[in-house]
Amino acid sequence: MVMGRWDKGLILIFDLDDTLMWTEYLYSLAFLEYSKLLIEIFQRRLPYIGSIAKRSEEISHDKIKEINLATGQPYGFSMNRYPDTLVASYKELCDNGFGTYDEKIAAQIRNIGMMVFDGVKIEEAGLVPGAENTLSLLRRKAYLILVTKGDKEVQEIKIKALNLERWFSEIRIVSNKTKESFLEFRERFPDSLVYSIGNSFSSDIKSALDAGLAGIFIPCYTWKAESIDYSSLTPEQLRNFIRLKKIEELPAVFSDII
């Protein structure tokens, strides 16, 4: 999206996953469908479903750095990672004696995994409670920017399905969020109040604070590698740090402006 102009005022940089939308919801629905299929094809003979879920999470995490043979590139957060994770989980169960691996079943499982990226289902799931009203209120007096980390193809599906362009003047998909990536906003908006808003302390908040911006932390702990170290914040950063429980509390933070 083309950058807009905003000479001074309030600049709000939003995260997407688990800030504006509950990202894990459709993954959970897909895993439920996968679990039901396993019960059916293995004729009720399978390990405790919790252990299958735990092992599938481990496989998914490992696949981030694993080379996808179809592309020759690491899976990262690409669209194929989750469907291939479920297939790998199914194959492992078969290798452990719970059934006989079948390519037709594998294709069915892969389709279940792809439901996570179904634009219609993403639209039906919608934004987190209170997000629509909050964004509508804030955009009247603030310049809203969406910066989302992840695979371009995957994130574009979410952005389109949720019609996020109606609120955001700029939308960016990035591979990572670092101090350097946030420094640009401080340079572009030197006379403005610039806040980064998100659920990841390390990516959305600490990186922004290190760049001299303010941060609004709305925790949603969905990533096993996420860590929070408040002791790493300087006194100045602590003054520029706000922690909220839910997105609906945002307008009150800027009540003197909006």
Q: What is the pLDDT of residue 5?
A: 43
Report d(CA 84, CA 68) in Å as an integer. 9
Radius of gyration of the chain (CA): 21
Q: What is the pLDDT of residue 9?
A: 86
Instruction: For helices 81-95 and 24-41, give the axis angle rounded to 10 degrees.
Output: 30
Contact 191/8 with Cβ under 8 angstroms? yes
pLDDT band at 257 (very low <50, low <70, confident <90, very high): low
Q: Which of 23, 18, 12 is nearest to 168 (CA)?
A: 12
Per-residue pLDDT tens digits for 213-253: 999 999 986 555 566 778 889 999 999 999 999 999 999 99
Report d(CA 158, CA 171) in Å as an integer. 12
Residue 66 carries which DSSP code?
S
Report d(CA 168, CA 152) in Å as an integer. 17
Chain mean position to CA 222: 9
Report d(CA 208, CA 226) in Å as an integer. 16
The strands making up 193-198's β-sheet, listed across from edge to edge, are 170-174, 142-149, 10-14, 193-198, 214-217, 241-243
Report d(CA 245, CA 137) in Å as an integer. 18
Q: What is the pLDDT of residue 224?
A: 55
Backbone angles phi, psi at 31, to 5 degrees: -65, -35
Q: Is residue 52 scored above 80 in pLDDT?
A: yes
Per-residue pLDDT tens digits for 83-137: 999 999 999 999 999 999 999 999 999 999 999 999 999 999 999 999 999 999 9
Can you tell me which residue has the tokens 């340079």?
187
- Bridge pairing between strands 142-149 and 170-174: parallel
Q: What is the mean pLDDT of the chain?
A: 92
